[in-house]
Amino acid sequence: MRMSRTMHILACSTNLLLAATIAPAFALDQLVDVTGKVTPFVTLRSRDNFSSEYRYDVTVRNVSPDLFVADSLIVVLDHITNTAGQDRENLTGESLLTRMEIIGQDGTTEDGKPFFRVPQGSGPDLTPNSESLPVSVRIRNRDYVAVFTPAFRVMGQKREPPKQKNATGAAATQPPPNKATTDKLIQLLIKKGVITAEEGRLLHQP
């Protein structure tokens, strides 16, 4: 029947709308600090005394039982410390990080810290006890003679567990959309010519 077909189209359209709404987006402001569960390991690879450039490999290891979305993970160069363990100049209070030139960073956080994206590797997730591919970090020390140590933190998204199944083994269904969402969807279907205005009025009826 025409009405059954209309209801089917409405249900499919609603599912698409919900899918678009809940689709993960790995914008920087949606990432959380996961350093306690995903630990960075820093290895000094080379040092160029002429340019005072240091090259590091930074890998991250999942030390938790959780899964983390591989392409959401970033390492943030949080601060630089000197031999005394301080991260600021004694006289000026200036952050030692501002004295460094960071080469090849992928961006900066909201508080101005440089970050690098972790290579995804072969799988979609960083699984428990697994380690990522290395990130290459290049730091040029403008003070030349100063000895320093970089400190990193890790940000990313945890993989949400699959939906619970009900007693029959079927996946739990999405809750029905609210009335405002349904009304907008019906108007869109009428505008596209998928259903008629009369069919739209019938769908509005309880």
Is the same domain home to 6 and 39?
no
Number of Cβ atoms within 10 Å of the Cβ of 160: 10
Is the same domain home to 151 and 185?
no
Q: Report yes or no: 74 and 120 within 8 Å, Cβ to Cβ.
A: no
* Strand order across the beta sheet in which 100-103 lies: 38-48, 53-62, 135-141, 100-103
Is the same domain home to 13 and 41?
no
The answer as to whether 79 is a domain residue is yes
Is the same domain home to 41 and 12?
no
Domain that holds residue 116: 31-156
Q: Report yes or no: 36 and 113 within 8 Å, Cβ to Cβ.
A: no
Is the same domain home to 42 and 109?
yes
**Residue 173 Cα to chain centre, angstroms:** 26
Give me the pLDDT at residue 164, please: 66
Condensed to tens digits (0 to 9), the pLDDT of residues 48-64 reads 988 899 999 999 999 99
- Higher pLDDT pick, 174 / 86: 86
Angle value at C-alpha 138, between 137 and 144, nearest 5 degrees: 140
Is the same domain home to 85 and 181?
no
Q: Report yes or no: 156 and 39 within 8 Å, Cβ to Cβ.
A: no
Condensed to tens digits (0 to 9), the pLDDT of residues 111-124 reads 999 999 999 888 89
How confident is residue 173, by pLDDT bands cut at 50, 70 and 90?
low
Q: For the full predicted model, state whether its pTM sits above 0.95.
A: no
Is the same domain home to 56 and 129?
yes
Q: How many domains does the chain have?
A: 2
For residue 148, give the CATH number of its domain. 2.60.40.290
Give me the pLDDT at residue 121, please: 84
